[in-house]
Chain A
Amino acid sequence: MLKVAVVRFPGSNCDFDTLHAAERAGTDAYFVWHRDAQLQGADVVLLPGGFSYGDYLRSGAIARFSPVMQAVQRHAADGGPVLGICNGFQILCEAHLLPGALMRNAGLTFVSKPVDVVVERTATVFTSGYAADARLRLPVAHGDGRFAAADDTLRMLEAEGRVVLRYVPATEGSPLQPNPNGSANHIAGICNAAGTVVGIMPHPERISDPTQGLPDGLEFFTSMAAWQPRPSSTLSTPNR
């Protein structure tokens, strides 16, 4: 059974939802504390949402230096999958495991509501089970979700097909407010070149239980559960 470490920082608050979603998908999921220097043999690491270290200085900035993140860095460098959700995405950017940064929402308010997103890349460990260009309705809940990056970084992400989730533009008639935070290129989630490290602002774990009707987020976790640790896969080919 796939071993999945859910990292808890002081201030994480989506840790239990994330753990349960991973368990529901049929993995052996367990918590790892921020002071732990080991991941206990994890195949996959999940960085849950919340407000690690009180969001002091910048969201995710302090978490980056915790002992457990040194282990996550090594895990990712070895090709190990990592999914950062919301605060976890912010931590991945601060740790330079993903490019860019997440800044204060353009509207200045904390945004907590469902949004429509398109799965633009299915060649990742966490989105392989979705149909190409699947449209999902996922909750967001963040104050610092505006993805920003240098122009050449944005061009690189687009050219390499590394935008995993994109907010549905207003022109496509989503009944929900498009792009809730002013993100560059309507980006809601990105990945590394190999598709092993993924960061997303929406919370799939919050809509991953069959009792919720259409659990649009569940496939992030079932995709992960279906991932084969070895031999090395062919995930580096974008699907678009």
Chain B
Amino acid sequence: MSFRVHVRVMPRTGLLDPQGQAVEHALAALGFPEAGDVRIGRAIELEVSAPSRADAEARVRQMCDKLLANPVTEDYLLQVEEA
């Protein structure tokens, strides 16, 4: 089976995210003062062949732990759909 996996990699909560801060300030300057706690991460999409949804998720978790996310500074979320 083929699965489309959406990976969301975000800077770990509590770590300084200067990009998020800069965008938050820009939003305020543009007239959106209600925007707060802006954080900027990365979205990765990939297709995975696997016998089951659980297998696909387990493989992509390994990919995240080894390459797609840095375990020191980032957390990730997965969303798996049948392709």
Interface positions of A (Cβ within 8 A of B):
57-58, 61, 65, 93-94, 99-101, 103-108, 146, 148-150, 182
Contact = CB atoms under 8 A, between A and B. Distances in A.
| Nearest 9 CB-CB pairings of A with B | A101-B72, A101-B73, A108-B18, A106-B18, A101-B70, A148-B73, A58-B70, A108-B22, A103-B73
B67 A61 contact: yes
9 contacts: A58-B70, A61-B67, A61-B70, A65-B67, A93-B72, A99-B72, A103-B15, A106-B18, A107-B18
B72 A150 contact: yes
Given A57-B67, A61-B67, A65-B67, A104 B72 contact: no
Interface residues of B, number: 11
Contacts of A103: 11, 15-16, 73
A105 B19 CA distance: 10
A97 to B, nearest CB: 13
A81 to B, nearest CB: 24
B78 interface: no
B68 interface: yes
A148 B15 contact: yes
A178 B28 CA distance: 29
Tell which of B15, B16, B68, B72 has the most Cβ of chain A within 10 Å: B72
Interface string B41-75: 00000000000000000000000000110101100
Contacts of B16: 103, 106, 146, 182
Contacts of A106: 16, 18
Contacts of A93: 72
A99 B71 CA distance: 11
Nearest to A148: B73
A105 B72 contact: no
Contacts of A108: 18-19, 22
Given A101-B70, A103-B11, A182-B16, 17 more contacts: A58-B70, A61-B70, A65-B67, A93-B72, A94-B70, A99-B72, A101-B72, A101-B73, A103-B73, A104-B18, A104-B19, A107-B18, A146-B16, A148-B72, A148-B73, A149-B72, A182-B18
A182 B16 CA distance: 9
A220 to B, nearest CB: 26
